[in-house]
Each structure stands twice: as C-alpha cells, then as structure tokens.
Amino acid sequence: MIVYIYDGTFPGLLTAIYEAFYQKEKPGQILREWDYGQNLFSQPVYITTDNDKADKVSEAIKKKISFRALINVYYAYLSEVDNAGTMAYDYLKLGFKMGKYVDGNHSDSIVSKFHEIGKKVGREKHRMLGLIRFKLLKKDIFYASMEPDHNIVTLVAPHFAKRMSDQDWIIHDVKRNTAVVYNQEEWVLTDLESNQALPLGEEECLYQKVWKTYFDKIAIKERKNLKLQKGFMPVRYWKHLVEFGGD
C-alpha cells in the first residue's frame, strides 16, 4: 500500500491531496510524518509542501464543491483524529464528483463521519470561548492557557481579536506547545514552550483571590450538582480555570 506522508501542516495536507489526484499511483493513506509507522506492507512517499499546489487545491474545493467543504477539510485537519488526512482525501474524491450536493448525502458513511468530526471540533471551539480565562501578567499582557482535545487555538483567536482588540494577549495551547500572540493589530501562530511560573501582576493576584471568594460564596451547597457541572465544564479543563484553583 502506498502511503503519502506530509509534514503535519495544513498546506502539507493539501499538497498531499494535490499529488494524490495528479499522480498515477494513488495512496491508500495520507498521514502526518509522526503518525507513520514503517512496515513491510507499506510504500512511503514523502510529500514536500508546496504552497502553490496547496492554493490550487483550496481554490478547486471552493469552486467545484463549496467554501463549506474547505472548512470541513480544515476542521478534520484540526481534529487530529487518526487517519484524518485519508478521510479528507476520500471526502474530496466524492465531493469533486457530486459538487455542492456532497454535504447533503448524509447516508454516505464518508460524508457522515466527516461531518461528525467537524461537529466535535466546532463544539469544542464554542465551549472554549466560554472557558478561556485570561490572567494579567506584568507589562500589561493578558495570558490564557488551554489544553483542548483538538487543535483549535486558531479557531478561537478571531473571537478574542475582536473582543479584546485594545489589549496585548497570548492564548497558549500547552498540549501542543503553540500559541496565538496578538499585538492589538494582528494575531500570529507561533511555537511556545514554557514550564516557568507566570510573572503575574499585583492586581491579577488580587483579582484571582476576589473571584475565587465570589465563586465560593454564590455556590448553594444544597443545590450542588457535580455531574451537571462536569457536563458543562469537563474536568480536563478545570486546571486552567481560576475558580477551580487553576494558577
């Protein structure tokens, strides 16, 4: 089986899809380089990312299928689920045949599975918009940490670029060692690895103490429902929330 291996970037995935359509030998899988485990039954083909080819695939998806289809492929990429690249390729093969009607073909297992992946990414994005907590650091920089299941830091960035447009801030995905950094003009995605204690400003320490006290005081002991609480705020997010003791 031929396996296309790309560098893990979105342009890399689109380049691999480009090659899959134009090369005679079609891949059985499209995988990120760190997901590939060499074996006797696979023939690896390493794909070099080409932004021009990636742009051609992006434009073809928008023109021949729909802009929604391109978003679906991007969400599948961000999901980081096993074999997401292969599923994107299979989805697009069907999409280029059916055009804009592909997403209405709910009975097709490829389409339905692809949509389910997108819904999971979308749900986590909306959930994180309400769970991200910023801390004021020294030099008036706001910092928030997160560890989402999916790679959604670029999906939440536009919301905060509008809501906090007059502030400098960082949203740090500590699980993937990446961050979105905003300078009151634009945001960029960058690598960021830090295990050091944050240099909190004096006011932030006071705000956190006041917020924790408020959170404790408004809680009604007799109406405490941990199961419901965990449903709205899964435990895996708690360490990044000030009200649950997150630093």
Strands 178-183 and 168-173: antiparallel
- For residues 49-74, average pLDDT: 97
pLDDT surpasses 70 at 233: no
Question: What integer pLDDT is reported at residue 93 of this predicted model?
Answer: 96
pLDDT surpasses 80 at 235: no
Please answer whether residues 75 and 121 qualify as being in contact, where contact means their C-beta atoms are separated by less than 8 angstroms: yes
Q: What element of type H or E holds 32?
A: strand 29-32
- What residues pair up with 46 in beta bridges, in sequence order? 5
Higher-scoring residue by pLDDT: 218, 167: 167
- Rounded CA separation 104/29 (Å): 25
- What residues pair up with 144 in beta bridges, in sequence order? 171
Question: What integer pLDDT is reported at residue 120 of this predicted model?
Answer: 95
Question: What integer pLDDT is reported at residue 214 of this predicted model?
Answer: 40
